[in-house]
Structure 1
Amino acid sequence: MTKTQYYVAASIDGFIADRDNGLDWLMQFGFEEFTADYEAFIAGVGVVVMGSRTYEFLLDDNPEKWPYPDHVSWVLTNRVLPLIPGGDIRMARGDVTELHEEWVEAAGDKKIWIVGGGLVAAQVADAGLLDEILLTTMPVVLGAGAPILPLSGTSGVFDLVSTQLFPSGAIGAVYRTRR
């Protein structure tokens, strides 16, 4: 069965971007200590899904090269956005329940990664389609910003599957939706 996972980093107070939608707070940690875990994760991913703000962040970061060339990518948007070369990028809008069927088919025996943002992850969770949250809590407090998972109501219970402490003080945790 194809898993739908939200793999995300957040501040201690639950934000994935600061009040200006910036990620400088996250970039200060670098990526070296997280590389092995990320590479193991991404090797099992068949489909990446993101919203337009996440896509635009990637576009601004490197408009010439798509960071997920080996993955079918869906961008949920109501706008026309330029395509980044080098990827199978599909712009879509509509009900995530219907789109999820396409994601599962495209993923094959691999996972679906909800890259972000929180609004996309919340739509997937609200529809009952989120299987796991792979959360890395970074040792910083933002005070305000984009919340990790702005659900329309209280979620069901998640079971803690595993934890990992990183040298920076970040904590990785895997939560599975209790069904």
Structure 2
Amino acid sequence: MRRLTFGMNVSLDGYVAAPGGDIGWSVPSDELFQFWSDRVGATGLALYGRRLWETMSSHWPTADQQPGVTPAEVEYAHRWRDMPKVVFSSTIGAVDGNARLVSGDAVAEIARLKAEDGGHMDIGGATLAAAAMRAGLIDEYLLATAPVLVGGGTPFFTALDSWVDLNLVETRTFPDGVLLTRYETRR
């Protein structure tokens, strides 16, 4: 059975994006960027919601060919292109690269994918992750908390019908005061 992790950069007040989708506050240090790149390199399957897919797929497929690209960005672009992806959307008609599209019941498909053998899965996109969270499918939460208050926007956590007990399994400090915390769901 695969493990499912929801991890993103998050503001101290709990948002993955400020109002209007602004993520300018979450530019990672080189060390944090390398952490995320290594994570992408080790991911067996990435699950994307439509908005995050559109953001990532508009940049990373050709990022390694852009002027001024750093070696770390080249490495990330290659890892991102190689990583298998499933995109969940009922509004887009096709995806390209190493991705496939699911337009049906996201929760049922995520549960099916979790039941398979294979490397760990990461889920990205607050709306998609919220559905998996409410269904109790997330095994691990990974927050890279930036020392900024954005006052609103897209929350990392969704409203839940019941408590989810977690165990803290890792903390790590990155430059610029970013604190990584990793929690496993108690089952």
TM-score, normalised with respect to structure 2: 0.81
What is the CA distance between 1:91 and its match in structure 2? Answer: 1.3
Q: 1 CA distance for matches of 2:61 and 2:32?
A: 24
| Partner residue in 2 for 1:33 | 31
Match runs of 1:40-119 below 5 Å: 40-62=38-60, 64=62, 67=77, 68-81=80-93, 83-84=95-96, 87-104=97-114, 108-115=117-124, 117-119=125-127
Match runs of 1:100-139 below 5 Å: 100-104=110-114, 108-115=117-124, 117-139=125-147
**Mapped contact 2:87–2:95 kept (Cα < 8 A):** no
Q: How many pairs are equivalent? A: 173
| Partner residue in 1 for 2:173 | 165
| Partner residue in 2 for 1:9 | 9
Q: Letter of the aligned partner of 1:135 in structure 2?
A: L
Higher share of residues assigned helix: 2
Q: 1 CA distance for matches of 2:129 and 2:154?
A: 12
Higher share of residues assigned strand: 1
Q: 2 CA distance for matches of 1:177 and 1:22?
A: 29
Q: Letter of the aligned partner of 1:55 in structure 2?
A: W
Q: 1 CA distance for matches of 2:5 and 2:58?
A: 25
Q: Secondary structure of 2:44's match?
A: strand
Q: 2 CA distance for matches of 1:103 and 1:7?
A: 18
Gaps in structure 2 of 5+ consecutive residues = 64-75
**Mapped contact 1:125–1:151 kept (Cα < 8 A):** no
Q: 2 CA distance for matches of 1:146 and 1:162?
A: 25
Q: Deviations over 1:103-162 (max 9, x none)?
A: 3477x43110012x2111111111111000011100111001000022343431111111
TM-score, normalised with respect to structure 1: 0.85
Q: 2 CA distance for matches of 1:172 and 1:109?
A: 26
Identical positions, percent: 26
Q: 2 CA distance for matches of 1:64 and 1:105?
A: 33
